[in-house]
Structure 1
């Protein structure tokens, strides 16, 4: 009877500290989803010809980078809220410059895609990010080639291809822009791992904006002078709306801080999973509020891609668990070794003690 009662007893309630951590994690996820959602829809509103009708993606990205650079400089140099990282000129040129250049191209192309494609279809194309990161990681020898992983990547690509086939408002140029943005962003992420993380340099969002945003702004300025400046000169009737562009830039800056909170307080894997939830919410919002056409073939294709991404995240989680499991025996062996050394030391001390 006693054994039966104990086996059927409910599990002990979670402690207050554990509950607090869980609630905080959900709060970080909710904040990131909300801000990411806001920035995407806000950018779409500004750039789309049927809405605010200001189709200048490089100019919009430059406004974001100028705002982020100025605010980051103010927080680091004036208020001194965070300490700048010790970085030599050679390290800045070899590491930060290429990352800034790729960031400028990624932002330019991703914002440009909103002029030609619906929000829902762009989110479907973004499902190819794990494919791009894995492929570039293999190319740069940061990832090992595995048949199972490649099959997973092909399944995601197949799902996205079906979604593209069923897209009612398909635009070849918009697709090229978005796929280019995914490729540049994936390369940037791999280079961050190679150029900065491998050298022991970690940047929080404020210091990363402090170093990367001005560099990105310079590259954007070169692109802007060639592509958009001649067109803006002809648009003499345009006046700068401080409310629209100010709040839009503030949302972009807040999103960078939210990314740091989410990854720093939880993990990059949590952000990947939250990203899938955000994509579904954006697709639903795009269909119900913006009135973008979402076809059944779209949903079937993205559903297949979603399953592939979910499996990718599951594989990453299992790999992390296996890595943690390997660390524990090593730590236990080290602890046992230290105890053995201490005991041997005590034994030697007793043998050499005249009182023994």
Structure 2
């Protein structure tokens, strides 16, 4: 029995490690491609990610049978999934655009305010009120980011707006997902949801890429002739984007929602440290204090939510 238990624990640790490394890996690779390597095409990059998610989701579900395939039951359900896909696209594209201008560490500090936006959207859309204590814990979450913004040496207003937009869109997607796909017949697990959302995202992103990043394919092929590393970087980065979703699903399945929240908070902090070590972007004491305050607020928020349940 103890062997079973320890192998189960080892499996969970390995899963969490894979989730962390794929998550942080995508962030750092996106940053490297968009600002250090000089591949200035965030919409095309997102489209590569979504194409990989479409193909790999199909392989994982239809061929490898990792989860049972769930079907779309109605046109209404398809419209709901399309709406979620649109918001999902907006959040990923905005996040990638922000990485062009902001260091990963600051990007993560803003991303930590997701609970604040989730609480706001949940209230506006479902009029669902949390206990007042839960709202009080959101004060340090927001204050921390304001302090971090003031102390950020590489602050860029457009990048900041894009990052706030990405965070808000991510929160909106999670609230909408709960509302739109809440009936028993329409519930999809995250793997199946990605299977349907990713191809819709590719269809949405294709005209945006052609219109806003013209001749990006030609430019990428020309780059590849000079340095074929770019093709491998794009392929690896896109596959990694799928593994973020896959490992997130598996970690959720094998741990509790609360463990996932705690691990998620810690992941942001790990990403900040790793990115500072790799990109050596300047950080200020004020910035780090602000970020620490935000993470502290998020931990308090998780605790308050747990108590009120």
**Could you tell me the TM-score, scaled by structure 1's length?**
0.79
2:168 is aligned to: 183
Q: Which structure carries more relative contact order (alpha carbon 8 Å, separation 6+)?
A: 2
Instruction: Give unpaired runs (5+ residues) of structure 1.
Output: 1-13, 321-356
Whether contact under 8 Å (2:91, 2:170) holds in the other structure is yes
Instruction: Give unpaired runs (5+ residues) of structure 2.
Output: none
- Between structure 1 and structure 2, the one with the greater Rg is 1
1:217 to 169, 194, 202: 202
2:34 to 47, 68, 83: 47
The Cα of 1:205 is off from its aligned counterpart by 4.4
Q: Distance in 2 between matches of 1:301 and 1:181?
A: 20
2:51 is aligned to: 66
Q: Distance in 2 between matches of 1:268 and 1:257?
A: 16
**Could you tell me the TM-score, scaled by structure 2's length?**
0.90
1:335 is aligned to: none
2:23 is aligned to: 36
Distance change in 2, residues 1:83/1:18 (3 Å): closer
**Partner-residue secondary structure (3-state), 1:170:** coil
2:73 to 77, 88, 95: 88
Whether contact under 8 Å (2:151, 2:287) holds in the other structure is yes
The Cα of 1:16 is off from its aligned counterpart by 5.1
Q: Distance in 1 between matches of 2:198 and 2:74?
A: 16
1:111 to 85, 88, 96: 96
Q: Distance in 1 between matches of 2:125 and 2:4?
A: 42
1:243 is aligned to: 232
Alignment of 1:318 onto 2:307: yes
Q: Distance in 1 between matches of 2:19 and 2:27?
A: 12
The Cα of 1:47 is off from its aligned counterpart by 0.8
Let me know the Cα RMSD of the aligned residues. 2.3
1:127 is aligned to: 112
Distance change in 2, residues 1:284/1:74 (3 Å): closer
Q: Distance in 1 between matches of 2:97 and 2:82?
A: 23
Q: Distance in 2 between matches of 1:285 and 1:78?
A: 36
The Cα of 1:181 is off from its aligned counterpart by 0.4
Q: Distance in 2 between matches of 1:266 and 1:246?
A: 30
Whether contact under 8 Å (2:72, 2:78) holds in the other structure is no
Distance change in 2, residues 1:160/1:83 (3 Å): same
1:263 to 248, 252, 256: 252
**Partner-residue secondary structure (3-state), 1:108:** helix
Q: Distance in 1 between matches of 2:134 and 2:60?
A: 42
The Cα of 1:32 is off from its aligned counterpart by 1.0
Q: Distance in 2 between matches of 1:111 and 1:53?
A: 13
